[in-house]
Structure 1
């Protein structure tokens, strides 16, 4: 979240060019600035990439080397791999405050004006040239590439209003600058770069190499100081478009991203990103993380499209919402998600998964099968070593255990006999409240059913009966 100016650290006090020179301020290019701040973070052992999970030993070392080499970067990866978040994190490596010529259109450095208007003001005012300070959050610009993006959006165009005021077409001051020049001394990020029409991509060639721009036949030589970064889905090269070869050649680094390799990273991403409205126990999050990973491995799912991390995040939020719904209907005070709630994600989120063409009509079957596998794996790993035989015997010899979205945690717990194994299950899963204990017992019951040690019936009324 971008801080408001009042909540940021106070910026330096220099208000004129003379005061800035007297303070000993040294001008740096944006790439030198990023390089120096990254090196400081590495030397001090600080986390230079807050909020980036699962890339520690793969992607981050590559992007760090690219920044140290002062290269423009393109990230290639399937949807939902955190490419945009990573690009936005680059802004945290900029200096917190940087001086600009007050009122300048492109945020030029007071030592180095580049537009005719600023050059003229600097010559007229000398050391009295007014200076203001720009926060690093204002030095990052992001553009989602869409087919209707124009050269004017990225580079600029002749402003007819300025022409109407009496300036000639050849006057550089008639130009309305686009996103790239306006991010002078900052970072320009273009998401989904292949979606840009090829003729629009051509307009970026000089920006990246010669650092000048051409508008309506007029060459405006501006020594732009920008880091250009972009994201793309590798499949876009054949589906919707491609990155033209000359532009691809100008990126110094092409880095492949990936989905979390470790299960713990997958769970951490869900915990970080999900806006949960109820308590979702760790073992329920683990089921969702395993489910997402199984989808990514399934031959029934189109792996060229990928299964986004947003799927797992949305699944956690849906499961939490199911718990809140049950609590509202049945009057529970503290909603806690239970394994029975995971069934809600199959119907709600199946549209977020792209299946292979031969799987038409089997989508629900595939999702249910993989969800059962994820639950079984979680139960086996979470409860391994606990003798669940007393619970099996109690279910076989006693009354059926009924759960579902119309059964409160207290009712579920009251259906169970007072067995030491239930306390052992709760302790293993860190369950203390009634809702958490009910969620723990449900995982054990579902694990026993999937291991074919007890039976289960699911009715149309949403009730699940273990017997």
Structure 2
């Protein structure tokens, strides 16, 4: 891994595919830790990309590597370490069968759960092998756990502090001496394993959640964080969301701003954080709302519109932890912050465009009606002949009918939030700007 990382850095290649927002903070620290050969623990709140980062580590391994065929530990043919492999190598010599293992098979991941046992991680005596006639003193009766099976690879443990203390103790020898002890067996295995873990800072630093000797054995503790720049936040949403419909970039920006406002709000419990998954799920919900509307109304190409942002509050409010004093005000807080995010996006995207002609149409003509039961064609028909629509479409890059309707809705919502027009929503889902 060290050699491949140095080769990538030397050649100017990015070894961290799909990792956004950590270029100047987390990744340099992780690279130094890997070059030093240290085991690593990533500390951060939920949804900061810790697991995603751990899963990119196998890309630094050689794509294929030779192993002794049938070996539990995947040893190199020239360097067997398990008793069974040593015996086979001595018996077969150059006839020892060799297989090739892909780097994806050299990464093992374990979620720390209350039912995790020492046998799962390190190993235990296999009763089946004993029943076959071998003695209990025979080291070949051992069934190896996850860590030794990851020999010449990577072991990742998610939510490390959730491991019981006696299970954490079983990792001490693995991390320092690189050997294992199973039920009194004196079996030294010179393991070549990188142990990486993730944890919440609050759990990791509290006494009693993780034992001090285990903390001491990690060579590097690296703090992760939510995206610092708005562009990175938007890039994460665009990369991770599986969208069922076209979602304009400014709607992704609204969701990114909304998520960032939640992380700054005193009404939200910041100890639990607001996961990047919140914004990703929000984008997917907005896309689904567009598909739902297009299916009901018979639109050929579904496009998300600002009216769909309201579904985020309805569906995802359970993903945010509020302070105890905010009980009963959750929807109010979410709607207020969503309006702020929308207003900020309108200023950023439509700043400099004179929206007075649209105000005149609303003031002197019929009210403009939109909503989940109003098609893009019908919305544009209400504003037929207004040249301003072309300017709005050009500013946000709207070409199709659905995208142009979405641009009009963005302008109407901006005017409402600037208190230049009014807005009312009835029980049928219609939104009336007047």
Whether 1:154 and 2:121 are equivalent positions in the alignment is: yes
**Correspondent of 1:87 among 41, 54, 57:** 54
Whether 1:331 and 2:298 are equivalent positions in the alignment is: yes
Residues of 2 paired with 1:261 and 1:194: CA distance?
Answer: 27
Matches within 5 A, 1:157-306: 157-237=124-204, 242-306=209-273
Residues of 2 paired with 1:238 and 1:100: CA distance?
Answer: 40
* TM-superposed deviation, 1:344: 0.5
**Correspondent of 1:314 among 270, 275, 281:** 281
**Correspondent of 2:420 among 450, 453, 464:** 453
Residues of 2 paired with 1:193 and 1:312: CA distance?
Answer: 26
SS in 2 for 1:403: strand
* TM-superposed deviation, 1:117: 1.1
Instruction: Point out where structure 2 has 5 or more consecutive residues left out of the alignment.
Output: none
Residues of 2 paired with 1:128 and 1:357: CA distance?
Answer: 69
* TM-superposed deviation, 1:59: 0.5
* Match in the other structure for 1:430: 397
Deviations 1:434-463 (A, max 9, x none): 100011110110001000111111111111
* Match in the other structure for 2:27: 60
Distance 1:303 1:271, change over 3 A: same
* TM-superposed deviation, 1:241: 6.1
SS in 1 for 2:428: coil
SS in 1 for 2:195: strand
SS in 2 for 1:142: strand
Residues of 1 paired with 2:276 and 2:206: CA distance?
Answer: 22
Matches within 5 A, 1:10-29: none
* TM-superposed deviation, 1:238: 7.2
TM-score (normalizing by structure 2): 0.98
* TM-superposed deviation, 1:213: 0.9
Quote the RMSD (CA, aligned, Å): 1.1
Residues of 1 paired with 2:115 and 2:392: CA distance?
Answer: 57
Deviations 1:384-438 (A, max 9, x none): 0111111111111111000000000000001114222211111000000010001
Residues of 2 paired with 1:240 and 1:190: CA distance?
Answer: 20
SS in 1 for 2:8: helix
Residues of 1 paired with 2:385 and 2:394: CA distance?
Answer: 15
Residues of 2 paired with 1:168 and 1:196: CA distance?
Answer: 32
* Match in the other structure for 2:17: 50
Aligned residues: 434
* TM-superposed deviation, 1:239: 8.1
Instruction: Point out where structure 1 has 5 or more consecutive residues left out of the alignment.
Output: 1-33
Deviations 1:327-363 (A, max 9, x none): 0111101000000000011010000000001100000
Residues of 2 paired with 1:96 and 1:462: CA distance?
Answer: 54
Distance 1:240 1:329, change over 3 A: farther
